[in-house]
Structure 1
């Protein structure tokens, strides 16, 4: 029987590549995005998150085998924490009952190598406390103080920590649902293409995310890992943040994490 997946951020980048990859393997994929998707929803809003949960239940008949939370933005704006953290958490929490009804259910969310970059503790702590209003206020304060670059890394650090905390709970591991994150390095997607198109932009990106193995990646090179993590073959990998970054994490942190 074909597996049924829901993928947010399905209209572009890693989400689009993963949707196409899974469909080629015979899977049924329900896409979620602001446009060109089976479910049109803005995950920065309560209304959009409710729409996702309701329509997912209708379109799946109440069961899902896999969820890949790809939707994300990289803006010097509080919107980034609303989508990248609160939208992702709402997606995974609201769809968990559908996964519990599925066959060999699995879930993955997209973090980033930016999760090891400097972050704003006020943003991260508020996010992990589930206080969206405080997290947005902290993000706005960072932007207003000229530290807007911290918002993206903070959103990705927070979602990585949420996965570590949540994956081992009775609702996930106890229910037989592996939950992981991947942390891509520089991926040539529309989100950063404008920077990659200029010499100054490429130098800035490569300085922050040095990738000694094969350089920048394409979205379709990430999709097979997401396929495996959400496959029945993944029986014991959970609570992990798997770096897909051409070695950037090893360059930036060395062996200090071990």
Structure 2
């Protein structure tokens, strides 16, 4: 049966691979990105977030079957705060009412194995409080500091997103409405966003020292697309609040028994 999917970040990388896979399987995809997609909006802004909901509602006729909130950036800047956390949460909450008409509604977000690394506590606190002004201010401070401090931004936004999924998946709005809400946490995937870390053998060796991936190493967006497609399929009726690491083993190496 054909389903209607909304895929953010659909113009490149994991989002593009996922949209292509779903279309190949006979589904309808409403792609969302900054440009080059069905819906072109900036999820770093309130205008872009409201525009997303309005345009998707118009294009879908008011009903969708699945949300794949995949859009994100990885720059050591405050913009990463706006897109990765607030843009993703706004995507999920803004589009959730459109799932009401589906017989098998599903939602998934893209976090990251970078969520395993120590966060910036002040930024994390502001994110989890939903205080975008404070979070953006702290993001700007980290950006201005540069170096290791600025590099905390990405992982902190992804940790906050994973925590948001865990805290909301079992609530009346999601599980209570029959909507499995989950996240994935990819390791290093060969996309335009990670090209600086994957384009040369030297770069790949360096990133794998930081992100150990003993099972097959760096992989392609299509591999992630298969997981996203299953999580948002009718087959997945019972996963709730799970953050599924598709990372070649980095979670197992880094956390080991500490997950229990």
Report the TM range for the smaller structure's normalisation: over 0.9
Please report how far the alpha carbon of residue 199 of structure 1 lies from its aligned counterpart in structure 2 after TM superposition: 4.7
Give the secondary structure class of the aligned counterpart of 2:192: coil
Q: Which residue of 1 aligns with 2:132?
A: 132
Q: In structure 2, the residue corresponding to 1:192 is in which secondary structure? A: helix
Gaps of 5+ in 1: none
Partner of 1:61: 61
**Distance of 1:204 and 1:136 partners within structure 2:** 30
Q: 1:165 aligns with which of 164, 167, 173?
A: 167
1:142-161 CA-partner distances (Å, limit 9, x unpaired): 22233100000001000000
Give TM-score scaled by structure 1 length.
0.98
In 2, Cα distance between the equivalents of 1:13 and 1:32? 13
TM-score (norm 2): 0.97
- 2:250 corresponds to which residue? 248
In structure 2, the residue matched to 1:228 is 230
Alignment of 1:1-258 (within 5 A): 1-146=1-146, 147-258=149-260
Structure number with the higher helix fraction is 2
**Further displaced range: 137-146 or 151-160:** 137-146
Answer yes or no: is the 8 Å Cα contact 1:108–1:181 preserved in 2.
yes
Tell me the secondary structure at the aligned position of residue 125 of structure 1: helix
String of CA shifts for 1:117-147, please: whole Å, max 9, x gaps: 1211111111111111101111111222331
Q: 3-state SS of the aligned residue for 1:194?
A: helix
Q: Distance in 2 between matches of 1:200 and 1:247?
A: 21
Gaps of 5+ in 2: none
Distance 2:3 2:182 in 1: 19
Secondary structure of 1:36's aligned partner: coil
SS of residue paired to 1:30: strand
**How far apart in 2 are the matches of 1:149 and 1:204?**
16
Tell me if structure 2 keeps the 8 A contact 1:76–1:149.
Answer: yes
Pairwise CA distance, 1:30: 0.3
- On the 8 A contact 1:100/1:177 being kept in 2, the answer is no
Q: CA deviation at 1:212?
A: 0.1
Q: CA RMSD in A?
A: 1.0
Whether contact under 8 Å (1:41, 1:52) holds in the other structure is: yes
